């Protein structure tokens, strides 16, 4: 861990609405923005949910364009198709309503619909020059935290790798976190996305570049999600549990900009690109094994994580930290998620290639508290197998 407090820059959304039913009030928050043409990016199953918003926007004189073509983790090809469809419409506002894939598309659309920068020129960190379109994000899952992060992740069809675009211009002007929107999310998706959010918080707190400003959000996010995720999975209409997990997910998104994730995400990405394993589930499969690998490098930090997960303090930090690993495994079991790569029919022979792909995610591996070599990555995948 760092021994000198580093400088930090935190970009919060301009306004955050949090509360059951707050989707019904965002039209009144959008009205003062003076928008004329708004693109709503969402998915077809949510159309009944957003009809009221569309009507409200129409009543205040805003023309609405609707795109519901995102059905999986987005690629640059998906994004280019969207941009080509709407670039001539003089859009001045984008509203993303959906899970992380939808929000990532919406965030980048708000940048690129009126930009002279080519897509390839902004892949990486802090390469976007400006955003001229207002951006509103409404998450419908409690997981990615994309509504509060400066990140957008896409699959590059050229090499099938996940690539990040990171910029403060991707942080929305307005965020609406309405836990009621998560009530219809199936149990399996609730579990996987919740563990994704938990991983965001956990990897931020144990990060080589962890920071006290972000530790507050990270630890509280761990507490909220660990205490309520299983209840939200078991009873999708449990309003309190859904709200607590949604809040934890929001906190995880706040962690992503200033600190970001580390080896869990780096090793999880190839599972998504090569075997189309959902991102949250990929994290869950690897989380306990990366934790075990990392504990020797940061036992005090992982001990604090264990306490936030609800474990009791043991005789030393290492023992407490290992109790946290067992707690994570218990949560995964209680959520009825697969716990092994073999459970998803991933061939063991693919492990060397997975490790090779993971080692390319240097922007995340550099954050890990313990250096990971390709042999270490292979060992972790084998432990997860």
CATH topology assigned to domain 15-182:
Rossmann fold (3.40.50)
Taking 60 as the threshold, does the pLDDT of residue 2 lie above it? Answer: no
Nearest to 349 by CA among 288, 281, 275: 275
Cβ burial 288-314 (10 Å sphere, 16+ → b, else e): bbbbbbbbeebbebbbbbbbbbebeee
Question: What is the enclosing helix (H) or strand (E) of 17?
Answer: strand 15-18
pLDDT tens sequence across 212-261:
999 999 999 999 999 999 999 999 999 999 999 999 999 999 999 899 99
pLDDT tens sequence across 167-179:
999 999 999 999 9
Distance from C-alpha of 201 to C-alpha of 217, rounded to nearest angstrom: 7
Please report which residue ranges of the chain form alpha helices under DSSP H.
26-30, 47-59, 76-86, 100-112, 187-205, 212-234, 239-256, 263-275, 279-294, 299-309, 317-334, 351-358, 362-365, 374-384
Distance from C-alpha of 68 to C-alpha of 80, rounded to nearest angstrom: 14
Residue pair 58/6 in contact by the 8 Å Cβ criterion: no
Distance from C-alpha of 193 to C-alpha of 188, rounded to nearest angstrom: 9
Give the number of other CB atoms < 10 A from CB of residue 98: 26
pLDDT tens sequence across 91-129:
999 999 999 999 999 999 999 999 999 999 999 999 999
According to the model, what pLDDT value does residue 157 have?
86
Which pTM value belongs to this model? 0.95
DSSP assignment letter at 350: G
**Percent of the residues in the chain that have a pLDDT greater than 70, as a whole number:** 99
Quick one: average pLDDT of 268-295?
A: 96
84: CB partners within 8 A, 6+ apart? none
Distance from C-alpha of 319 to C-alpha of 310, rounded to nearest angstrom: 14
According to the model, what pLDDT value does residue 73 have?
81
What is the secondary structure of 294-318 as a DSSP string? Answer: HGGG-HHHHHHHHHHHTPPP-SSHH
Taking 70 as the threshold, does the pLDDT of residue 1 lie above it? Answer: no
- Could you give the angle at which helices 279-294 and 374-384 cross, rounded to 10 degrees? 110
pLDDT tens sequence across 311-366:
999 999 999 999 999 999 999 999 999 999 999 999 999 999 999 999 999 999 99
Q: Write down the mean pLDDT value for the chain.
A: 95
Torsion of CA 264, 266, 271, 272, to 10 degrees: 110
Distance from C-alpha of 53 to C-alpha of 21, rounded to nearest angstrom: 12
Write out the E strands in 92-145: 93-98, 124-125, 134-139
Give the number of other CB atoms < 10 A from CB of residue 183: 17
Domain-wise residue ranges, the chain? 15-182, 187-384
Architecture of domain 187-384: Up-down Bundle (1.20)
pLDDT level of residue 3 (50, 70, 90 thresholds): low
Residue pair 64/40 in contact by the 8 Å Cβ criterion: yes
pLDDT tens sequence across 62-87:
999 999 988 778 889 989 999 999 99
The pair phi, psi for residue 126, each rounded to 5°, is: 60, 40
Would you put residue 266 in left (φ > 0), alpha (ψ -120 to 50) or beta?
alpha
Give the number of other CB atoms < 10 A from CB of residue 89: 12
Residue pair 383/375 in contact by the 8 Å Cβ criterion: no
């Amino acid at each position: 861990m760092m021994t000198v407090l580093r400088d930090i820059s935190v970009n919060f959304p301009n306004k955050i609405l949090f509360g059951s039913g707050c989707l019904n009030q965002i039209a009144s928050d959008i009205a003062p923005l003076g928008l004329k043409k708004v693109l709503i990016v969402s998915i077809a199953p949510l159309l009944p949910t957003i009809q009221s918003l569309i009507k409200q926007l129409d009543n205040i004189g805003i023309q609405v364009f609707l795109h519901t073509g995102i059905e999986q983790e987005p690629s640059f090809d998906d994004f280019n198709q969207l941009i080509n469809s709407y670039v001539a419409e003089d859009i001045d506002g984008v509203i993303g309503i959906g899970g992380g894939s939808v929000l990532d598309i919406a965030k980048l659309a708000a940048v690129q619909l009126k930009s002279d920068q080519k897509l390839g020129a902004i892949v990486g960190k802090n390469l976007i020059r400006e955003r001229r379109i207002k951006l509103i994000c409404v998450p419908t899952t409690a997981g990615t935290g994309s509504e509060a992060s400066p990140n957008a992740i896409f699959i590059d069809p050229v090499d099938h790798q996940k690539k990040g675009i990171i910029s403060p211009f991707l942080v929305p002007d307005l965020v609406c976190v309405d836990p009621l929107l998560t009530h219809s999310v199936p149990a399996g998706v609730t579990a996987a996305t919740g563990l994704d959010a938990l991983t965001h918080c956990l990897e931020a707190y144990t990060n080589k570049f962890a920071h006290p400003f972000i530790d507050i959000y990270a630890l509280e996010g761990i507490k909220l999600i660990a205490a309520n995720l299983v209840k939200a999975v078991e009873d999708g209409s449990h309003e309190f549990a859904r709200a607590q997990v949604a809040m934890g997910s929001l906190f995880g998104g706040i962690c992503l900009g200033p600190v970001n994730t580390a080896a869990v995400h780096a090793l999880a990405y190839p599972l998504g690109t090569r075997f189309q394993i959902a991102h949250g589930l990929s994290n869950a499969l690897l989380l306990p094994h990366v934790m075990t690998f990392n504990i020797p490098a940061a036992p005090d930090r992982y001990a604090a994580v264990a306490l936030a997960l609800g474990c009791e303090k043991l005789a030393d930090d290492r023992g407490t930290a290992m109790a946290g690993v067992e707690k994570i495994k218990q949560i995964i079991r209680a959520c009825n998620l697969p716990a092994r790569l073999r459970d998803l029919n991933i061939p063991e022979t693919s492990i060397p290639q997975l490790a090779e792909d993971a080692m390319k995610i240097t922007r995340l591996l550099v954050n890990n508290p313990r250096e990971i070599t390709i042999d270490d990555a292979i060992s972790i995948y084998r432990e997860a197998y």
